[in-house]
């Protein structure tokens, strides 16, 4: 190593408690040298495997490959996680520079004929090898990964594959950077107090605080979730609601340097080229080979089945809002910027409560207590803040996770609030994955990142009910990572089929509607009064408010995803026309000029959900069916929770997900539980 590298904290053994990431020591200039050194080291590890004179076997080939590049994996996790949660122009430039290097490195492995020869030799002996279920899974997964990454291609096609994957790696980053730039570029500064009419005091105070932080006079609103969503829901000024909606829905569609139209077309074209190079008709066919759904036809049937059930209800829900708006003096057709506004008022009329009425009982610190208590009650976990664990931003808190016997389980980072360097949305990720090869137990470091309402000068962070369900959702993903008890990094935690990964997250959302859980922590932040039972009943009754509309909205995203990826020719022409055609069956509103979902659809163009957005609804079927067991046995029933933990959370991707699900449930799921829960039957 050079002296520069010996002084690079990313290239030293991570010290301190649990060998967590050395965030305090890492500087921007450390990343590129660390990547270069770690890639070189990983290449040496793989070459040593290839040069091994011993006969290829499971241990010296499959396991050795799964463990190779550990340092590189840790550096990647730190860099790319921060590029999503705490980025800057320099980080984004490094990402664009390093992406092709990482693509080349990955291709050098999967396209190496000698290495694939060793893997193939072990794979062809699999019937005679004495392997357990997880070992068999890793062997099959490794072999398929190489085949699906071009190992069987001829020399000319391998070069095409290299070029395609390298360009795709950069385009995904470009898409994400454009969305972030467009999100940060828009601000609505209100200087006339009458334009704040209808907005709750807490939202007004937050906007004043945002303006003050930017050294501006007035009230500043932006396209971050805690600002944008309440504005559309409560602001009486229709013109300003429309302005906010158009700004949000046209991101990436302005014909400027952050425009995503050409990026989308090129991504779709390259994905199709890659799929056809590998012998598939479409990108969806290629992706779904490694999913529970298996084929595009099965996905289409699944979406159509849900659409058939929900569309009549959605039409009625739209008509109900239109009628309500007319009754209250609105003279036109309800537009997208009117929907949340009149829906919220209709919900108040039907159920006699608002989201703002619930927020004082959902102080973030108390919600954290409630979520941690749930983890203790179901899985025996204890979470303790540890300030000696380094974090990457003052907003981030680090916890040690211990089991009932005080044994270390995981490190958990929580990062709640929006900022300009953080992309929108909420997600779970990890800085180190779990494994236990040869008794060397490596416990995971997991991170949950959200964009929740920040504290103001007069009040703590008070969450909306939706934010509470989001917290439970991401914590469910976190449990999947933290409780993993697998042998290998390649099968542990959330390394599962994409349409199975949302089961733990979505199932844990169900506790948000349970009085027995809410009673444990939901108290008024000023008076200490418990969330009234009457208000809980109203929340429960309103659970299915506009459930069909939400179903159709999610189905429209899934159908748009499949339209892009289940096609045999590139996308040409106007993307707005393409999008309208793809989602026509689900549309309830008139088209909005300039509005385009595709140019901000990060899930499918930079988030890994390509040909996989349907998985949210797929997993809802699983989660509704799974939670019915808790409802039957008790929402804190430890025996049920132990079964879910042992059969789902601990098993990661160690075997086929349907086998894991049936081990918990005793049968395959049907859509009936979901339709019943949503009131659509």
CB 523 within 8 A of CB 530: yes
When pLDDT is averaged across residues 435-447 and rounded to a whole number, the result is 97
Convert the pLDDT of each residue in 447-489 to its tens digit: 999 999 999 999 999 999 999 999 999 999 999 999 999 999 9
> What are the CA-CA distances from residue 645 to residues 65, 210, 381, 656 (Å)?
29, 42, 12, 16
CB 513 within 8 A of CB 469: no
CB 472 within 8 A of CB 511: yes
pLDDT at 194 over 60: yes
How far out from the chain centre does Cα 489 lie? 20
CB 276 within 8 A of CB 268: no
Q: Is 474 designated active site? A: yes
Tell me how many degrees the CA angle 399-404-406 measures, rounded to the nearest 5.
60
- The pLDDT confidence band at residue 520, using thresholds 50, 70 and 90, is very high
Convert the pLDDT of each residue in 4-38 to its tens digit: 677 899 999 998 889 999 999 999 999 999 999 99
pLDDT at 681 over 80: no
**Angstrom distance (rounded) from CA 542 to CA 536:** 10
* Predicted local distance difference test score (pLDDT) of residue 680: 83
**Angstrom distance (rounded) from CA 242 to CA 597:** 16
The residue count of the chain comes to: 681
Convert the pLDDT of each residue in 298-344 to its tens digit: 999 999 999 999 999 999 999 999 999 999 999 999 999 999 999 99
Give φ, ψ of 236 to 5 degrees.
-75, -25
Short-list 221, 213, 215, CA closest to 187: 221
**Angstrom distance (rounded) from CA 490 to CA 496:** 9
- The pLDDT confidence band at residue 673, using thresholds 50, 70 and 90, is confident
Convert the pLDDT of each residue in 572-590 to its tens digit: 999 999 999 999 999 999 9
How far out from the chain centre does Cα 641 lie? 24
CB 539 within 8 A of CB 562: no
Q: Any idea what DSSP says for residue 415?
A: E
* Predicted local distance difference test score (pLDDT) of residue 3: 55
Burial of 448: CB neighbours in 10 Å, binned 0-12, 13-18, 19+: buried
Give the whole-number percent of the chain exceeding pLDDT 70.
Answer: 99
**Angstrom distance (rounded) from CA 399 to CA 40:** 34
Tell me how many degrees the CA angle 576-233-513 measures, rounded to the nearest 5.
105
555 SS3 class: helix
Short-list 564, 470, 28, CA closest to 269: 564
* Predicted local distance difference test score (pLDDT) of residue 675: 85
Tell me how many degrees the CA angle 286-292-296 measures, rounded to the nearest 5.
45
**Angstrom distance (rounded) from CA 303 to CA 671:** 11
**Angstrom distance (rounded) from CA 363 to CA 359:** 7
When pLDDT is averaged across residues 182-206 and rounded to a whole number, the result is 97
Domains contained in the chain, CATH given: 3-152 (1.10.1370.40), 186-249 (no CATH), 360-547+616-677 (1.10.1370.40)
Q: Any idea what DSSP says for residue 600?
A: G
**DSSP states along 307-375:** HHHHHHHHHHHHHHHHHHHHHTT--S---HHHHHHHHHHHHHHHHS--HHHHGGG-BHHHHHHHHHHHH
With 0.75 as the threshold, say if the pTM is over it.
Answer: yes
Structure tokens belonging to residue 229:
């969503």
* Predicted local distance difference test score (pLDDT) of residue 639: 98
pLDDT at 288 over 80: yes
User: For residue 412, what is the enclosing H or E element?
Assistant: strand 408-415
pLDDT at 514 over 80: yes
Give φ, ψ of 222 to 5 degrees.
-140, -170
Short-list 429, 422, 467, CA closest to 448: 429
Convert the pLDDT of each residue in 117-132 to its tens digit: 999 999 999 999 999 9
User: For residue 535, what is the enclosing H or E element?
Assistant: helix 533-541
First to last CA, the chain: 66
Give φ, ψ of 279 to 5 degrees.
95, 15
Cα dihedral 520/526/528/533 (nearest 10): -70
- The pLDDT confidence band at residue 676, using thresholds 50, 70 and 90, is confident
Dihedral-angle region of residue 590 (phi above 0 means left; psi in -120 to 50 means alpha; beta otherwise): beta
Identified catalytic residue from 86, 344, 400, 474? 474
Mean pLDDT, the chain, whole residue set: 96
């Amino acid at each position: 190593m050079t002296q520069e590298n010996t002084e690079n904290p990313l290239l030293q053994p991570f010290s301190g408690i649990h060998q967590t990431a050395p965030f305090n020591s890492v500087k921007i200039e450390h990343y590129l040298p660390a990547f270069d050194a770690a890639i070189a080291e990983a290449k040496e590890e793989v070459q040593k495997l290839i040069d091994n004179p011993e006969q290829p076997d499971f241990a010296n080939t499959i396991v050795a490959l799964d463990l190779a590049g550990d340092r590189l994996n840790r550096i990647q996790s730190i860099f790319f996680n921060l590029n999503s949660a705490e980025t800057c122009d320099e980080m984004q430039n490094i990402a664009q520079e390093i992406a092709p290097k990482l693509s080349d490195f990955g291709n050098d492995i999967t396209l190496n004929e000698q290495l694939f020869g060793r893997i193939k030799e072990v794979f062809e002996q699999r019937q005679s090898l004495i392997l357990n279920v997880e070992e068999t899974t890793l062997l099959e997964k490794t072999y398929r990964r190489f085949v699906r990454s071009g190992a069987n291609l001829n020399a000319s096609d391998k070069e095409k594959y290299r070029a395609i994957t390298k360009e795709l790696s950069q385009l995904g980053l470009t898409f994400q950077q454009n969305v972030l730039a467009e999100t940060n570029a828009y601000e609505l500064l209100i200087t006339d107090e009458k334009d704040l009419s209808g907005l709750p005091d807490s939202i007004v105070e937050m906007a004043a605080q945002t303006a003050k932080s930017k050294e501006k006079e007035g009230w500043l609103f932006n396209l971050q979730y805690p600002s944008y969503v309440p504005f559309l829901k409560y602001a009486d000024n229709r013109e300003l609601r429309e302005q906010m909606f158009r700004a949000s829905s046209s991101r990436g569609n302005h014909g400027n340097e952050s425009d995503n139209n050409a990026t989308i077309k090129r991504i779709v074209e390259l994905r199709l080229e890659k799929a056809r190079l590998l012998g598939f008709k479409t990108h969806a066919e290629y992706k779904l080979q490694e999913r529970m759904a298996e084929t595009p036809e099965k996905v289409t049937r699944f979406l159509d089945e849900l659409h058939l059930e929900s569309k009549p209800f959605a039409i009625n829900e739209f008509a109900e809002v239109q009628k309500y708006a007319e009754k209250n003096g609105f003279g036109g057709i309800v537009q997208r910027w009117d929907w949340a506004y009149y829906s919220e008022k209709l919900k108040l009329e039907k159920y006699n409560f608002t989201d703002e009425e619930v927020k004082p009982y959902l102080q973030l610190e108390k919600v954290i207590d409630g979520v941690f208590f749930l983890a203790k009650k179901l899985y025996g976990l204890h979470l303790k803040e540890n300030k000696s664990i380094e974090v990457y931003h003052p907003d981030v808190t680090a916890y040690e996770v211990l089991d009932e016997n005080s044994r270390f389980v995981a490190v958990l980072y929580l990062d709640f609030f929006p900022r300009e360097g953080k992309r929108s949305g909420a997600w779970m990720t990890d800085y180190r994955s779990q494994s236990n090869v040869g008794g060397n137990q490596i416990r995971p470091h997991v991170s949950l990142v959200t964009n929740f309402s920040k504290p103001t000068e007069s009040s703590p962070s008070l969450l909306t009910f939706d934010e509470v369900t989001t917290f439970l959702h991401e914590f469910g993903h976190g449990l999947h990572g933290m409780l993993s008890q697998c042998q290998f990094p390649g099968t542990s935690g959330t390394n599962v089929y994409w349409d199975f990964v949302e089961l733990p997250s979505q199932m844990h959302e169900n506790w948000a509607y349970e009085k027995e859980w809410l009673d444990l922590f939901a108290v008024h932040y000023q008076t200490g009064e418990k969330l009234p039972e009457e208000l809980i009943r109203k929340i429960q009754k309103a659970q299915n408010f506009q459930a069909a509309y939400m179903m159709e909205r999610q189905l429209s995203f899934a159908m748009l995803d499949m339209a892009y990826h289940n096609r045999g020719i590139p996308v040409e022409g106007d993307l707005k026309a393409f999008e309208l055609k793809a989602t026509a069956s689900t549309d309830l509103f008139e088209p909005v000029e300039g509005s385009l979902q595709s140019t901000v659809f990060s899930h499918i163009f930079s988030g890994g959900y390509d040909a996989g957005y349907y998985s949210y609804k797929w997993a809802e079927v699983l989660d509704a069916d799974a939670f019915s067991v808790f409802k039957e046995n008790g929402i804190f029933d430890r025996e049920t929770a132990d079964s879910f933990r042992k059969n789902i959370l601990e098993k990661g991707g160690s075997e086929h997900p349907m086998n894991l699900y049936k081990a918990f449930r005793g049968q395959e799921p049907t859509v009936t539980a979901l339709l019943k829960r949503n009131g659509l039957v």
